[in-house]
Structure 1
């Protein structure tokens, strides 16, 4: 039943998660030029790859895949809720992995005060909100189904 409201929230979340791969996360100003932080890694201003961040790219891919899985497992509501909780944990881990990679590249946290954030830095917050709304409506459906089973 893809016409449910939670399916709309999950579809919006999946579409928003594609932004991980399209836009940069942040720009770090350095002495020579700006470094662009993307899901792929650090890029120079000219677009040349400086370092690849495979864990960050894989984590972004897993989040997008799980959002799609949660959208299409509408017959298993409990599994949908559990998947939503796992995605929220992975989104919080996404921030942690990003901080670790930024620190390991620059070797200080002062550079984080100078970064220019882009829209992708806030995508996990939007995804968490959308997943929470979807889980709320999934739980409502599950409660409705259980109450009907009790009446029989």
Structure 2
């Protein structure tokens, strides 16, 4: 059903990954220009893909196993995105002039936490359905 708690988690992942990176800066260059997700095509593509995977996971609520697998793929995508941000932040710190890390670098962490919570709820539903099937 669409009114389950994992749908709420996935909806938040969709909103956070689809909208927030384009409003919050990811990092600032040495000369003070803020870099958003729309400035880098690969980063914006990864955020859009994460939001799209969350939307697809919401739509296929009847197939819990496929939803679980899709959330894991989304989780891996967000881990790669987080790894890119960590790599980028380590490169930024070695500059001769001071550059800032933005709050937007935390977006994959929030998405990962919400995806783990959604997968936990999906697993709980799947276990509940299996236990009811045993009673028949």
Of Structure 1 and Structure 2, the greater helix share is in 2
Does the aligned pair in 1 maintain the 2:89–2:101 contact within 8 Å?
no
Rg: which structure is higher?
Answer: 1
CA RMSD of aligned residues (A): 2.4
Q: Normalising by structure 1, what TM-score?
A: 0.77
Partner of 1:29: 30
- Report the Cα distance in structure 1 between the residues aligned to 2:100 and 2:92, rounded to whole angstroms: 16
CA contact (8 A) 1:56 1:98 kept: no
Give TM-score, length-normalised by structure 2: 0.85
| Alignment length (residue pairs) | 135
Structure 1 partner of 2:123:
139
Cα distance in 2 for partners of 1:28, 1:94 equals 19
Secondary structure, in 3 states, of the residue corresponding to 1:40?
helix
The runs of 5 or more residues in structure 1 that have no matched partner are 42-52
Equivalent position of 2:8 in the other structure: 8
CA distance in 1, matches of 2:88, 2:112: 22
CA contact (8 A) 1:5 1:137 kept: yes
